[in-house]
Amino acid sequence: MIKVHHLENSRSQRVLWLLEELELDYELVVYQRDPVTMRAPDTLRQVHPLGKSPIVEDGDDIIAESGPIIEYLTERYDTGHTLTPAPGTSAFRDCRYWLHYAEGSAMPPLVMTLIFSRLDKKPVPLILRPAGKMLADGITRTYLKPDIQNHLDFWERSLATTGYFAGNRLSVADIQMSFPVLAAASRIGISGRPALSQWITWLRSRPAWQRAVEKGGPFAY
């Protein structure tokens, strides 16, 4: 049986959503973050040297990173191409783009906003926290927020035609993009972007998404 090593409040939520959409049975192993550092526990290193989630075990195969996991699961189990557009089509090329874009371009500034938001909290020494907050506020205001707003505009335009990231139906592009979209909506906001707002409402209404959240736990983006 497929085993998913799932870290609370992490991008592995996407893997659970994918498995629920494919209606596959899986075993869920849940890990809790350190309450101070917010890092994953060292026990994840026993599964993969980097100790990061998501990690999927399927027989003798151990697959890490969201993109490769999604590609592996769909290539092996989505034989009817219910979540992947037909190869050679523009929807297929778009889908492959979003699979790489989500982690390569969208997530770095979002991760940086999260890191900078903690510069006035433990484990940063108390004496350094005021300076840390000033630094974080300056970088976030002048660099990170404008960059993320640019991404948000890009997503809004991309969703405006069909309501999906690739083609005219749910695909793994939507699944992969779910975390950056929800993280940006939580940390920056999506005011004035109706296509993004509608997409989030659609996502949260899907029974497979709801089952994934129920099993994986509530999210704080």
Task: Please compute, for residue 87, the number of CA atoms within 13 A of its CA located in the half-sphere on the CB side.
Answer: 3
pLDDT per residue as tens digits for the range 50-93: 888 899 999 999 999 999 999 999 999 998 889 999 899 999 99
Between 210 and 140, the more confident residue is 210
Cα separation, 149 vs 184, whole angstroms: 9
Between 204 and 42, the more confident residue is 204
Q: Do residues 40 and 47 make contact, with C-beta atoms less than 8 angstroms apart?
A: no
**DSSP-assigned letters across all residues of 153-210:** HHHHHHHTTTSSSSTTS--HHHHHHHHHHHHHHHHT--TT-HHHHHHHHHHHH-HHHH
Cα separation, 160 vs 156, whole angstroms: 6
Q: Return the CATH fold of 90-206.
A: Glutathione S-transferase Yfyf (Class Pi); Chain A, domain 2 (1.20.1050)
Partners of residue 149 on adjacent β-strands: none
Which architecture, in CATH terms, is 2-77?
A: 3-Layer(aba) Sandwich (3.40)
Report the Cα–Cα distance between both ends of the chain, in Å, rounded.
Answer: 29
pLDDT per residue as tens digits for the range 11-60: 889 999 999 999 999 999 988 888 777 788 888 888 989 888 899 999 99
Kind plus residue range of the DSSP H or E element containing 103: none
Q: How many residues does the chain have?
A: 221
Query: Three-state SS for 16?
Result: helix
The owner of tokens 């906003």 is 113
* Full-model pTM: 0.90
Helix-strand-coil split of the chain, %, nearest 5: 55, 10, 35
126 pLDDT band, cuts 50/70/90, is confident
- Give the start-to-end residue ranges of the domains of the chain: 2-77, 90-206
